[in-house]
């Protein structure tokens, strides 16, 4: 089992939310599209949740964000029911496959101005 956690201050998201170039670097088009119909508060919480989750995933993979794995390599899907899903893309997919990741679990909690994300990645057994 590989574990990663991250705590994020939502003030960071409020600052970058107005800067499209930064948003496009941190989030995939699908992630950004999922926030279009949200009100401002929901958008900030959702973007913060996704970014904290991406950081937690990168930590669980043992790399953090580096030249090898970037924010565009991990996609967080949060549907209208609040269900969360981690998708490995590009080099993160290759890296997760090499580590034998078979399942990815994500929980996110928000409290006041903070978001906490916890990720557990299950690994398959090899003989």
CB 73 within 8 A of CB 90: yes
Is 6 marked within a binding site? yes
Residue 82 buriedness (CB in 10 A; 0-12 / 13-18 / 19+):
exposed
CB 59 within 8 A of CB 8: no
97 is in an annotated binding site: no
Q: For residue 86, report the phi and psi dihedrals to the nearest 5 degrees.
A: -100, 130
- E-only strand ranges, the chain: 2-9, 74-78, 84-88, 101-111, 114-123
| Nearest-angstrom CA–CA distance, 82 and 78 | 6
Annotated binding site: 6, 55
Annotated binding site for Mg(2+): 6, 55
């Amino acid at each position: 089992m590989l574990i990663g956690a991250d705590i994020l201050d939502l003030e960071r998201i409020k600052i970058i939310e107005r800067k499209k170039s930064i948003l496009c670097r941190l989030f995939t088009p699908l992630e950004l599209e999922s926030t279009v119909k949200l009100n401002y508060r929901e958008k900030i919480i959702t973007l913060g949740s996704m970014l904290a989750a991406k950081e937690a995933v990168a930590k669980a993979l043992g790399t953090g964000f580096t030249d090898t794995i970037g924010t565009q390599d991990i996609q967080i899907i949060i549907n209208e029911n609040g269900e969360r899903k981690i998708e490995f893309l590009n080099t993160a997919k290759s890296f997760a496959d090499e580590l034998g990741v078979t399942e990815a679990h994500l929980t996110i909690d928000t409290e006041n101005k903070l978001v906490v994300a916890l990720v557990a990645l299950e690994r398959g057994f090899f003989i």
